[in-house]
Amino acid sequence: MNEDLKIDLLVAIQMLKAAWESVKKETIANCFRHADFIVGTEAVEEPTDDVEGSEEVVELDDMWSDFLRFVGDASDTLTLDDFVGNDEASEAVAELNDVEIAAEVTHQRTGIRAAEVEDAVFENIPLPTSSEALAGVAQARRY
């Protein structure tokens, strides 16, 4: 048994998948509870449409009361709305293509549209011949 253990990428992914599937829901819940992400031992319930009386709202109100007792004098100027949902209207992510990202990174952003830049880049590259394309596909399969 002095044989080297060789694991390729596919086998590693299959092993990872099998390991993840063997983890029980209770184990994950216990990890979250141990990290104080979940308070209590009750199972997580589905969200309800009744927002006013839901457990989450009651728990949030309790936390807010604890926070106000903690900060003392500053509680006159602070409201819960200062912290909850303040950034819902702001857009956090912009969808950029590769050319726009490269332009931002190199600080060369001009008034040129990304499609125009991309077209200009690909105009200078000659198309491969049929045999070159087939050779490329064969090489990709071997990789």
Please indicate, yes or no, if residue 47 is contained in any of the structural domains.
no
Please indicate, yes or no, if residue 1 is contained in any of the structural domains.
no
Please indicate, yes or no, if residue 69 is contained in any of the structural domains.
no
pLDDT tens digits, 43-94: 545 444 555 557 888 888 888 888 887 777 666 677 777 777 666 666 666 7
- The reply to whether the predicted model has a pTM over 0.85 is no
Please indicate, yes or no, if residue 134 is contained in any of the structural domains.
yes
Please indicate, yes or no, if residue 81 is contained in any of the structural domains.
no
Q: Closest Cα to residue 114, out of 97, 138, 131?
A: 97
3-class DSSP state for residue 106? coil
User: Alpha-carbon torsion 95, 97, 102, 103, what sign?
Assistant: negative
| Domain extent for 138 | 98-142
Judged on CB neighbours under 10 Å (0-12, 13-18, 19+), 60 is middle
Please indicate, yes or no, if residue 118 is contained in any of the structural domains.
yes
Please indicate, yes or no, if residue 103 is contained in any of the structural domains.
yes
- The domain total for the chain is 2
